[in-house]
Structure 1
């Protein structure tokens, strides 16, 4: 069928719509219109403005003095170290969060999918951090990690060990905010894994047990392979979320010490609103958008190409 024939078929199908179908379509468009308008106004228009501003040099205090500089903002990322260091810290942060969240979320999901007692209480406990404000979580962990009077240091000194600097140490600060973020998000990962576990056919595990397979063999040879799509989805979701993290650096470390926790979104914020270099901040935002889109497209390709059960 040629393109012209296809267009003719679609046009004929539209012409055969009954008055009720046309009325339902108009009602559907009427309900969708406000959402589409707000999506266009608050998402795509700002994205277009950000892309335009990435080629400009201007300050938020004097936007009328903006001048076109072409690719200078993007070349500055290669010339200066700030973007590379910020991206390196962000990728290390994302790697730490994913490395903690994936195994813990999977183990919690296995517990929630079992018939062990107290599952309802555990579900409530692991979901409370997820629905708690990032400001509240960051404030709580600031108290816990306080170098002098923090609860964790109190336990450390009670064990006869020296106090730890935690958020004031360049070697420990990034690890600590990654642990805090993973603690907050592990419940979300567990719920996603739980949904995947409940979609695994129970007949396969029962047949394997009848054939003499142990619980570990069922888990390793049936459950985990069948959760490949879910695992990839959780990895991508947690990675994208971690790449966009802002609250830990803003509320807990202010990007320090020695820029060790200067995550890319916080760096963009400082560049635009503190250093008043909105053009360069827009270029950094475009770079982050490309990275996130690349990860998302890779996920879509893997989901379509590898696992087809």
Structure 2
């Protein structure tokens, strides 16, 4: 029969581990879980600091389904997400393949391409506002030098979202490059050597070997970029303010305006809850698909 000390050992060690984890778990609960629960609870009320709060049940969610402005924000968010995700992945892959080869100063080029990621988002947005300036900005200066007329990049409903997407791709493709570079290190060089001996072209090697073998990396990166794009706010706040005519108003920006502009905190909480569950569902499904593919 095992001694009491022998059976109590694993139990005591578990409680010791929980004791060390308790401060981090408490911080996690207070900073993430508790606000999330409070937000979900607020979504069932008409809370506003201008009047007493009342329980309204699902009224905020029914209002969302009939809100044309919210539907426009969903469309804008999807447009931005698709416009950022796939070009960022494509440019990141091309940069990673180019910089995975051995040549002088490749570390310098990697650093230069990754620098925008380290730049403050607000600072980068301010710089791009200057670049898009309609009269003296460098972008329109380039257009004029090519014989094209200047464009109202941030004041045109047709161009403003595209201008935001270009800035986001410039800033984020360095992240995609680093992730793809890590994935390329795991592909055995013997596979490439065998393909070259068989007479495969560089494009064929890229399309038939590199891209398929980076499938799990690509899917992981796609999930990260989509979740990140769903939550875009800072660049829109600085560069367009949601305009013109709501053409760059995304879900998160509309949540901010609804809460702090119109003081409709309950309605804003309903928007936040919907976005939270959409991102959660997408992340869970994406993770399950990725694990099944790895298996």
Q: Structure 2 length normalisation: TM-score?
A: 0.93
Instruction: State the distance in 2 between where 1:151 and 1:15 align.
Output: 75
- Report deviation, 1:23: 6.2
Indicate whether 1:152 and 2:118 are aligned.
no
- What does residue 34 of structure 1 align with? 23
The answer to whether the 8 Å contact 2:93/2:180 transfers is yes
Match of 1:276 in 2: 263
Is 1:142 paired with 2:148? no
1:39-65, CA deviations, whole angstroms, 9 ceiling, x for partnerless residues? Answer: 000100000001101110121344xx1
* 2:110 pairs with 1:123: yes
**Contact 2:87/2:169 (<8 A) preserved:** yes
Q: Does 2:234 align with 1:233?
A: no
2-structure distance, mates of 1:15, 1:106 = 57
Distance verdict in 2 for CA 1:87–1:15, change over 3 Å: farther
Residue pair 2:89, 2:222 contacting (<8 A) in 1 also = yes
> CA offset at residue 131 of structure 1?
1.1
RMSD, matched Cα = 1.9
Deviation at 1:206, TM superposition (A): 2.3
1:185-224 correspondence runs (5 A):
185-224=172-211
Q: Residue 100 of structure 1 contacts residue 179 of structure 1 at CA under 8 Å; is this kept in 2?
A: no
Q: CA deviation at 1:22?
A: 6.0
Deviation at 1:80, TM superposition (A): 1.6
Which of the numbers 36, 49, 52 marks the counterpart of 2:38? 49
- Structure 2, unmatched stretches of 5+, are none
Conservation of the 8 A alpha-carbon contact between 1:60 and 1:273: no
Superposed CA deviations along residues 246-303 of structure 1, whole A, max 9, x for unmatched, are 0111111010000000011110000001111001100000111111112112211211
> Is contact 2:216-2:293 (8 Å) kept?
no
Query: Residue 162 of structure 1 corresponds to which residue in structure 2?
Result: 149
- 2:99 is the alignment partner of 1:112: yes
Give, in whole Å, the separation in 1 of the partners of 2:284 and 2:39. 21
Following the alignment from structure 2 to structure 1, what is the Cα–Cα distance between the partners of residues 129 and 282? 32
- Residues in 2 aligned to 1:281 and 1:102: alpha-carbon distance in whole angstroms: 32
Alignment gaps of 5+ in structure 1? 1-11
Q: TM-score by structure 1 length?
A: 0.89
Match of 2:242 among 255, 260, 263: 255
Query: Which moved further from structure 2: 121-130 or 298-307?
Result: 298-307
Question: Out of 74, 81, 85, which is 1:98 matched to?
Answer: 85
Measured after TM superposition, the shift of residue 154 of structure 1 is: 1.4
Q: Distance in 1 between matches of 2:177 and 2:58?
A: 43
CA deviations 1:175-232 (Å, max 9, x no partner) are 0001101111100011111111111122222233333333333222221111111111
Secondary structure of residue in 1 paired with 2:47:
strand
Who is 1:181 aligned against? 168
Which residue pairs with 2:287 in the alignment?
300
**Do 2:154 and 2:163's aligned partners in 1 also have CA atoms closer than 8 Å?**
yes
